[in-house]
Amino acid sequence: MKKISILFLALATLVGFYSCEKSGTEVVLDPANITAPQLTSPADGSSLVFNKENKDSTIVFTWSPAQYGFNVAVDYYVQVDRQGNDFKSALPVGHVKSQDTLKISVNDLNNQILLLEDDPEVPNPLDVSFRVIAIINSQVDTAFSSAVKMNVSPFYIPIVYPQLYVPGSYQGWNPATADSIGSLNSDGSYEGYIYMNSATTPIQFKFTSARDWNHDNYGSAGPGKLTTENGLNNNLEVPESGYYKFNVDTQALTWSYLKTTWGLIGDATPGGWDSDTPMTYDADNHVWTVTLDLKVGEIKFRANGSWDLNYGSNNNDGKLQEGGSNIKVKVAGNYTVILNLDHTVYKYKLEKN
């Protein structure tokens, strides 16, 4: 069994509480004797119904504390996912330190539940699971509670996704008017597309957590790395003008970029599945467009003439997913096809002329 070393002199007096071995000042803690936290409220099998009338009410999560055999600061994170998904796509509900209670407004929890819906604009009652996890440090395994299963009925509100703003030399270094990228799962992972056009290259910029310079500002800590330490010489940069895809992780403090052009491909297009039909960027409306004749068949959107980055639609509902299903063209004709990557949820339109 894996054993984790913890330097803690006072542990030598607590042999009666758990199994350990002492060698000098080093004590070995057996993870099998750690007690995970357990959610006690809301109750397993219960239901929640949200609406605009109770959106300012408070939902309270409580749990029994994790036990390690000694007093230690514990970070608790409450998570939610669809039932049966084993928390593979867990979304954060909230975080507290060394407490056994988390309070969250109905409005904020409703927002997270909508992210789990097949169509957030037409929400249905959803079977979800909640759990709480306990973390003390990176050397000790995370302790997971059992899942509490519930049925939650959310109501539709426009989802407000966390944003990172991108002021830079391409737009006058003004956070108030800067484009932004969003966190689709509200988890510190941000993605988005920005058209940067400047006569001066390389183009320099920063990421900011608000539309000003008074909050978290992210600059360069080396290739692909970020820092929140302010400095005049740590601007991020891209080599030239273009339409860029940005990915940022504010927890790992990493970032990446990819310059893109876009095309349409598929057996409904003139080039079939062998070649792309190029699209043109409309800088005024922040969309890519192409007008062409389409046959009955299927299409997808590809970046840079490669399958490395492509979008389809799993539900053929105007919303795009990376690597999603082929988009069906059910009626032949002349179409204007619009690709909109300007918002956190990517969308497309097929407009028959």
Going 238 to 229 to 250 to 210, the CA torsion angle's sign is: negative
> What was the pLDDT predicted at 201?
96
Contact 330, 316 (CB under 8 A): no
Domain extent for 325: 262-352
Whether 58 and 147 share a structural domain: yes
> What was the pLDDT predicted at 11?
36
Boundary (domain end) residue, out of 153, 172, 200 = 153
Q: Does residue 158 lie in a domain region?
A: no
Residue 26 or residue 77, greater confidence: 77
- Annotate 245-280 with DSSP letters as a single string: EEEEETTTTEEEEEEE-EEEESTTSTTTTTS-EE-E
Whether 228 and 144 share a structural domain: no
Q: Does residue 269 lie in a domain region?
A: yes
> What was the pLDDT predicted at 30?
65
Whether 26 and 44 share a structural domain: no
As for how many domains the chain has, the answer is: 4
244: its two tokens: 């860029």
Q: Does residue 24 lie in a domain region?
A: yes
The mean pLDDT of 93-109, rounded to a whole number, is 96
Residue 311 sits at the vertex; the CA angle it makes with 308 and 313, to the nearest 5 degrees, is 145
Strand ranges (DSSP E) for 154-273? 163-165, 180-182, 189-196, 203-205, 207-208, 217-220, 226-227, 236-238, 242-249, 254-260, 262-265
Mean pLDDT score of the chain? 90
Q: Does residue 225 lie in a domain region?
A: yes
At residue 28 the predicted structure's pLDDT band, cuts being 50, 70 and 90, is: low
Q: Which DSSP letter does residue 19 get?
A: -
> What was the pLDDT predicted at 139?
87
Q: Does residue 244 lie in a domain region?
A: yes
Whether 107 and 177 share a structural domain: no
At residue 212 the predicted structure's pLDDT band, cuts being 50, 70 and 90, is: very high
